[in-house]
Amino acid sequence: MSSVFSNEAFKDHELVAFRHDRETGLNAIIAIHDRTLGPAAGGCRMHPYASEADALRDALRLSQGMTRKSALAGLPFGGGKAVIIGDPRRDKTRRLLESMGDFVESLGGRYLTGEDSGIGLDDVRVMATRTAHVGGLQPGAEHGGDPSPTTAYGVYLAMRAAVGHRFGSDAMGGLRVAIQGLGQVGLHLAGLLAADGARVYGTDVRANLIARAVTRFGITPVVDPAEILAKPAEVFAPCALGAVLDRQSIAGLKAAIVAGAANNQLATPGDGDRLHQRGILYCPDFLINAGGIIDIHHQRLGSSKARMRAHVQRIPDTLLKVIRRSEAAQRSPAEVADEEADDIVHCAWRGRAPVDVPQLRTA
Ligand code: NAD
């Protein structure tokens, strides 16, 4: 395992836990970044990482992003994330998911888990047989279950706000949007955009998911996933994995706006500046993809769908504030959003100590 404390992605993380279960083959990491605002919430990702160092880096970066996401969304959560090293299509077994549930439980409520790439609602249900510390499964909640549609809704609203800011009208009719990744969020986003009259181009590394989006929403398929980044379009929407925006890809981007659901879209912090210098309006990922965690928060409160959606509808306002501040200060929106979120946590931290989660429910 590569270094932890001296890792470039280590940003004062509170706890990094490793779990190996020889019986099920589970190899997993849970990273808790900060609990100043509440228990560390963030989904569990399963991915065939090329190396353990990549998995650790992902957990460290994603958990910090979760701290910032909840802070800007006004949620009483800190930031955490779990990663399972493995191929979800080959290595995911019921026993492995139960073992992951035990791992989450062992942290005593400091970390709340949920869905992420490679881990769906049914998988979280299996984990919930071993731990109460899961989100998105509140029984009887009006909008209980999969938070992905709400994430897509928040991204869609933010995209429209960015379009309005850049082009003077937020009408999506006829605008070209190129979606990378047609999974849980990308598919729903394609549906919202298609319903709004946008011309949606979409790709995925799984051909069957492209075909599904074509059948359901009449999107225009981009068969070679490598072509989507440079697709001529007004908006590029990264909805696959992270680090897609780097020196090379930014140089080839044709879009005027980047607005998507994927976490950690920027390969390095300098890539936010690169986008800014190219005049591409970047909508910070953790700001605009907060719909899912907002949904989970309201499920836990048992609030109505209308109340949850009203909370999500605040995402574009926060985005426009960040964009205006970035323009006034001639700094990238990415940098401004990081700073705003860190300020919220810092101010709260000066006021009080981290909190542990109360027992919410039994699985
Ligand atoms: P998902 O796994 O269902 O979908 C991701 C899709 O991207 C998959 O279909 C995968 O095949 C595809 N993909 C992977 N590499 C690709 C590539 N190079 N080119 C094209 N397609 C590629 O995951 P999801 O739940 O839809 O989440 C998508 C992203 O949004 C992730 O980064 C996730 O962390 C983030 N996110 C999701 C939620 C949520 O509510 N699900 C909330 C916030 C952020």
**DSSP secondary structure letter of residue 7:** -
Q: Which atom of ligand 1 is found nearest the CA of 244? A: 18
Higher pLDDT among residues 40 and 348, named by residue = 40
Q: Per-residue pLDDT averaged across 224-250, rounded? A: 96
Asked if 29 and 2 touch (Cβ cutoff 8 Å), the reply is no
Q: Which two tokens stand for residue 123?
A: 């998988």
- Token pair belonging to 39: 């228990």
* Cα–Cα dist 183/339, whole Å: 30
Spatial contact of 32 and 10, defined as CB atoms under 8 Å apart = no
Q: Do domains 2-68+77-134 and 148-344 have the same CATH topology?
A: yes
The average pLDDT across 24-35 equals: 98
Listing DSSP states for 79-100 in one string gives EEEEEEES-TTTT--HHHHHHH
Which residues are annotated as catalytic? Answer: 81
- Asked if CATH classification 3.40.50.720 holds for the domain at 2-68+77-134, the reply, yes or no, is no
* pTM exceeds 0.75: yes
Which residue has its alpha carbon closest to ligand 1 atom 9? 183
pLDDT above 70 covers a percentage of the chain that reads: 94
Distance from Cα 167 to the centre of ligand 1, integer Å? 28
Cβ–Cβ under 8 Å, residues 60 and 130: no
Tokens 């998507």 label which residue? 260
Alpha helical stretches, state H, 139-269: 148-167, 184-195, 207-217, 247-252
Rounded Cα distance between 15 and 107, Å, is: 10
Residue bearing the CA closest to ligand 1, atom 32:
262
Ligand 1 atom 39 nearest Cα: 148
CA–centroid distance, 87 to ligand 1, in Å, is 14
Residue 152 CA: which ligand 1 atom is closest?
40
* CA–CA separation, 355 and 272 (whole Å): 33
Q: Measure the CA–CA gap between 60 and 57, rounded to whole angstroms.
A: 5
At the top level of CATH, the class of 148-344 is alpha beta
CA of 13 to the centre of ligand 1 (A): 25
Q: Where in the chain are the domains?
A: 2-68+77-134, 148-344
Q: Return the best residue to mutate from 179, 184, 201 for the ligand 1 pocket (most ligand atoms within 8 A of CB).
A: 184
As a whole number of angstroms, the distance between CA 334 and CA 241 comes to 18
Rounded CA separation 355/30 (Å)? 18
pLDDT at residue 141, as a whole number: 53
Residue among 190, 196, 189, 221 at smallest CA distance from 206 = 221
Pocket test of ligand 1: the residue of 143, 185, 287, 312 to mutate, having most ligand atoms within 8 Å of its CB, is 185
- CA distance linking residue 102 with residue 69, whole number of Å: 26
Lowest-confidence region among 241-255, 321-335, 346-360:
346-360
| Integer Cα distance of 282 and 18 in angstroms | 34
Going from the Cα of 131 to the center of ligand 1, the distance in angstroms, rounded, reads 25
Residues with CB under 6 A from ligand 1: 115-118, 147-148, 151, 180-186, 203-206, 209, 225, 239-241, 261-263, 289, 292
Helix (H, G, I), strand (E, B) or coil at 260: coil
Substitution candidate for ligand 1 out of 49, 66, 69, 117 with most atoms within 8 A of CB: 117
Quote the CA–CA distance of 107 and 215 in Å, as a whole number. Answer: 43
* 180: helix, strand or coil: strand
- Give 350's pLDDT tier (boundaries 50, 70, 90): confident
pLDDT tens digit sequence for 152-185 = 999 999 999 999 999 999 999 999 999 999 998 9
Give distance in angstroms: CA of 183 to centre of ligand 1. Answer: 6
Look at residue 24 and give its three-state secondary structure: coil
Q: Which residues pair with 282 in a beta bridge?
A: 258
**pLDDT tens track for 47-105:** 999 999 999 999 999 999 999 999 999 999 999 999 999 999 999 999 999 999 999 99
What single DSSP character describes residue 356?
A: P
For residue 262, the CA-to-ligand 1 centroid distance in Å is 6
20: left (phi over 0), alpha (psi -120 to 50) or beta: beta
pLDDT at 233 over 60: yes
Q: What are phi and psi of 71, to 5 degrees?
A: -60, -50
Q: Of 209, 196, 210, give the one whose Cα is nearest residue 89.
A: 209
- Helices and strands per DSSP (H, E), number in the chain: 13, 12
